[in-house]
Amino acid sequence: MSPASRLVFLGPPASGKGTQGRRLADDRGLSYLSTGALLRRALRDDSDLGKQARPFLDRGEYVPDEIMVPMVLEWVKAQDGGWLLDGFPRTVPQAEALDAALPEGEQPQAIVLHVPDEELHRRVTSRLECSLCHRVAKKEEKDICPACGGELEPRADDSVENFGSRLAEYRKLVVPTITYYCDQWRARIVNGLGSPDEVYARLS
């Protein structure tokens, strides 16, 4: 399997990873995992994962590697074909663990969405998420998801205070991870400004 069939999607919060990653996975026939959606569902269900992750997410921090890595690697190893990870790895140790779990020569390529801070703040105050399919929507789409009919609601981690913490965590932890992929010539930086269709045209 070629590295092009194994992708990791990285970028700051509200950069469009979920929207673009899901679309790219659908178009290429790749299995898709959003670690953010997985964690938010665990919080709503009050599962064991949710209970472990809640203190970190409530502070706008990333969930520690010892919780995230086994969960994601278990999912990766269960996939028969290609896959796309949205929001993982978020630290260099996570990236190293993912590389080590894969056969030699089948390590993933990284796609990085770049969006200026002022645009990120604008987006985070105007988005909703479907409680069922986790599709990201805008507030003008009202209350019902046009994709599945689920309820649209604000994301629990989208408060202004929480967003500031998440952005700081991104710079501290994810930016070095992006450097890790760049140093190995395995990263592609994509301009995330514009409409979803305009951004997707740069990806495909």
* Residue 127 known to be catalytic: yes
Considering the candidates 22, 40, 90, 135, report the single residue annotated as catalytic.
Answer: 90
* Residue 17 known to be catalytic: yes
DSSP 8-state assignment for residue 171: I
Cα separation, 110 vs 185, in Å, equals: 9
Nearest to 107 by CA among 83, 126, 124, 138: 83
**Taking the CA of residue 138 as centre, how many other CA atoms within 13 Å lie in the half-sphere pointing to its CB?**
6
* Residue 155 known to be catalytic: yes
Q: List 152's β-bridge partners, or say none.
A: 130
Type of residue at 164: G
Considering the candidates 17, 22, 23, 135, report the single residue annotated as catalytic.
Answer: 17
Considering the candidates 6, 22, 127, 135, report the single residue annotated as catalytic.
Answer: 127
Considering the candidates 6, 40, 123, 155, report the single residue annotated as catalytic.
Answer: 155
User: What letters, b where the CB count within 10 A reaches 16 and e where it falls short, cover 16-54?
Assistant: bbbbbbbbbbeeeebebbbbbbbbbbbbeeeeebbebbe
Specify the 3-state DSSP secondary structure of 145. Answer: coil
DSSP 8-state assignment for residue 64: P
Catalytic residues: 17, 90, 127, 155, 166
